[in-house]
């Protein structure tokens, strides 16, 4: 495989392999760990199998946040590789850690990742998942996140698959007291199928923010959403998605469950269909007790002619005006995201812009 292609593909999902810009790096090529490096203290990165050998206690974390058992998770249980990333107690890992999963030749890439933000720590992870342009196959990724008391984990995932890839991530997050989990998901390149429904379990005063920007190109089916279970008092969740169909089919899900009083959740899904396509938005709110504050808004639309005309009256061509509006649509004001991650998201949006016109 040419190194050029690999480098190109990695860059498209924000993976730079540059020690100056990252605090750690992990690369999984098909089922094989190609690179593990860390550039700062307070951080631990290991291939998951090595980590399991090293720490007996890690077994307790396996299959705890991801409880779903389906045919895909079963396959991962039998054979897997992946990363173990851990921020030690009170460590502040501000410069992002990058983790890349690259699918090239195998029919199925089976991954199990564990991320732990120990008490009082802060960590930013950028995870880029991509494939060789001619690859065909399936990526099954189990990811379990543990955010301990007073810790904060920001996880930005950029997907850029090729047209013949099926992707089935299975993610779960447990956020302990006063912890915060911020997830950003960006999918702006073709894929055959993406199906996932990451779930966060929130303890007392814990928060989770899920933001997703998704484009479904022709022949793609993107069935994705986020779920938050507000288990204890003071917990809150915000789930925001922007989905664009450019000929593909999108199912934009969202589910917030209030299991305790005095919790707060907001769901916002907005969709835009360019020319043709299909979007099904399914926002669900579920309250199991009184004194909760749950809300949602969902809207699906098109680019208003009036907006295009307005920007053209400022001298933009029709294409420039359209691109500006689409860009605006994808602009989510993500709170608490470090500039380096925001840049990667912006870069991915820029790359996609041309494809969307």
Q: What's the rounded Cα separation, in Å, for the pair 99 and 123?
A: 13
Q: Return the residue of 330, 337, 345, 352 that touches other proteins, per CB under 8 A.
A: 330
Residue 318 in contact with other proteins, rule: CB under 8 A: yes
DSSP label of 3? H
Among 293, 331, 350, 355, binds other proteins (CB under 8 A): 331
In the numeric block, which tokens belong to residue 8?
A: 């190109």
Q: Considering the complex, what minimum distance in angstroms separates the CB of residue 29 from other proteins? A: 36
CB closer to other proteins, 193 vs 348: 348
| Least Å from the CB of residue 272 to other proteins | 11
Neighbours of 55 (CB within 10 A): 15
Q: Is 347 in the site for other proteins (CB under 8 A)?
A: no
90 in contact with other proteins (CB under 8 A): no
- Nearer to other proteins among residue 114 and residue 321 (C-beta): 321
Please state the closest distance from residue 313 (CB atom) to other proteins, in A.
5
Which listed residue (50, 275, 276, 328) binds other proteins by CB under 8 A? 328
Task: Kindly tell me which of 3 and 305 has the beta carbon lying closer to other proteins.
Answer: 305
Question: Among residues 195, 219, 221, 324, which is the contact residue for other proteins, using CB under 8 A?
Answer: 324
Could you tell me the smallest distance in angstroms from the CB atom of residue 325 to other proteins? 6
Q: Which is nearer to other proteins, 44 or 268 (CB)?
A: 268
Per CB under 8 A, 327 contacts other proteins: yes
CB 298 within 8 A of CB 269: yes
**Distance between CA 8 and CA 4 in Å, rounded?**
6
Q: Which is nearer to other proteins, 91 or 321 (CB)?
A: 321
Residues 256-295 that bind other proteins (CB under 8 A): none
60 versus 305: smaller Cβ distance to other proteins: 305
Please state, in angstroms and rounded to a whole number, the distance separating the CA atoms of residues 222 and 250: 5
Longest dimension (CA), the chain: 65
- Name the minimum Å distance from CB 301 to other proteins: 11
Shortest spacing between CB 354 and other proteins, in angstroms: 18
Residue 176, C-beta contacts closer than 8 angstroms, at least 6 positions apart: 146, 147, 148, 149, 151, 203, 206
Site for other proteins in 296-315 (CB under 8 A): 304-307, 309-315
* String of DSSP letters for 99-160: EEEEESS-SEEEEEEEEEE-TT-EEEEEEEEEE-TT--EEEEEEEEEEE-TT-EEEEEEEEE
- Of 38-46, 124-132, 200-208, 320-328, the window that binds other proteins (rule: CB under 8 A) is 320-328
For 266, the token pair is: 């907001």
Contact yes or no for 204/234 (Cβ under 8 A) = yes
SS3 state at 197 = coil
In this structure, are strands 249-258 and 24-29 parallel, antiparallel, or unpaired?
unpaired
Residues lying near other proteins in the complex (CB under 8 A) are found at: 304-307, 309-318, 321, 324-325, 327-331
């Amino acid at each position: 495989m040419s190194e050029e292609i690999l480098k190109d593909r990695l860059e498209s999902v924000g993976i730079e392999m540059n020690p100056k810009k990252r605090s750690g790096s992990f690369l999984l090529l098909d089922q094989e760990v190609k690179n593990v490096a860390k550039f700062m203290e307070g951080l631990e990165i290991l291939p998951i199998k090595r980590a399991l050998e090293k720490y007996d206690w890690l077994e307790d974390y396996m299959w705890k946040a991801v409880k779903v058992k389906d045919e895909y998770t079963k396959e991962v249980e039998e054979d897997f590789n992946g990363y173990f990333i851990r921020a030690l107690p009170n460590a502040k890992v501000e410069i992002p850690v990058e983790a890349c999963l690259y699918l090239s030749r195998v029919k199925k890439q089976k991954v199990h990742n564990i991320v732990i933000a120990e008490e009082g720590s802060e960590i930013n992870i950028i995870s880029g998942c991509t494939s060789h342009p001619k690859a065909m196959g399936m990526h099954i990724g189990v990811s379990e996140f543990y955010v301990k008391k007073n810790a904060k984990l920001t996880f930005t995932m950029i997907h850029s698959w090729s047209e013949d890839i099926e992707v089935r991530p299975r993610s779960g997050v447990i956020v302990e007291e006063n912890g915060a989990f911020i997830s950003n998901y960006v999918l702006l390149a073709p894929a055959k199928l993406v199906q996932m429904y990451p779930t966060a379990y929130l303890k007392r005063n814990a928060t989770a923010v899920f933001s997703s920007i998704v484009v479904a190109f022709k022949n793609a089916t993107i069935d994705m959403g986020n779920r938050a279970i507000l288990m204890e008092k003071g917990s809150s969740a915000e789930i925001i998605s922007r989905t664009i169909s450019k000929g593909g089919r999108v199912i934009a899900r969202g589910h917030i469950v209030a299991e305790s009083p005095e919790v707060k959740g907001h769901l916002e899904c907005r969709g835009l269909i360019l020319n043709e396509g299909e979007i099904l938005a399914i926002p669900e709110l579920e309250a199991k007790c009184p004194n909760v504050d749950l809300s949602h808004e969902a809207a699906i639309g098109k680019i208003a002619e009036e907006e295009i005309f307005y920007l053209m009256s400022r001298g933009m061509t029709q294409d420039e005006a359209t691109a500006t509006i689409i860009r605006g649509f994808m602009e989510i004001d993500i709170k608490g995201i470090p500039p380096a991650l925001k840049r990667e998201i912006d870069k991915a949006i820029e790359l996609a812009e041309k494809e969307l016109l």
